[in-house]
């Protein structure tokens, strides 16, 4: 999955994600692997919204920059206000 255009798309998505959601949530890239993307999300999060909404919001940001099929594979709380989220990613066919 790792290629330079996909990495650029991920970096842009993270930048936009942080622009609109910080300080409640801040994303950072952990790893781009074969068919998997790992992001750390950290912050106070809006508890009324539900923390998983923040995980899903990243999907929408990435889809603005890359033609991908992406789903949440797993997540774990690694610190009191930090989650590691793994996404399954597959590049979509161009129309």
Domain count, the chain: 1
Collapsing DSSP to helix, strand or coil, 7 comes out as helix
User: What local confidence, expressed as pLDDT, does residue 24 receive?
Assistant: 86
**Is residue 95 pLDDT above 60, yes or no?**
no
**Is residue 57 pLDDT above 70, yes or no?**
yes
Q: How confident is the model at residue 1 (pLDDT cuts 50, 70, 90)?
A: low
For the chain, give the percent of residues with pLDDT over 70: 92
**Mean pLDDT across the stretch 14-33?**
94
The residue range of the domain holding 58 is 4-91
Residue written as token pair 């300080």: 23
Average pLDDT value over all residues in the chain? 90
Provide the CATH number for the domain around residue 49. Answer: 3.90.1520.10
pTM of the model: 0.88
């Amino acid at each position: 999955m790792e290629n330079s255009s996909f990495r650029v798309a991920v970096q842009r998505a993270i930048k936009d994600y942080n622009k609109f959601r910080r300080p409640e949530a801040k994303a950072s890239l952990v790893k781009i692997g074969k068919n998997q993307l790992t992001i750390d999300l950290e912050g106070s999060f809006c508890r009324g919204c539900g923390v998983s909404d923040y995980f899903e919001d990243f999907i929408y940001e990435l889809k603005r920059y890359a033609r991908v099929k992406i789903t949440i594979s797993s997540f774990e709380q690694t610190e009191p206000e930090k989650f590691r989220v793994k996404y399954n990613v597959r590049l979509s066919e161009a129309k």
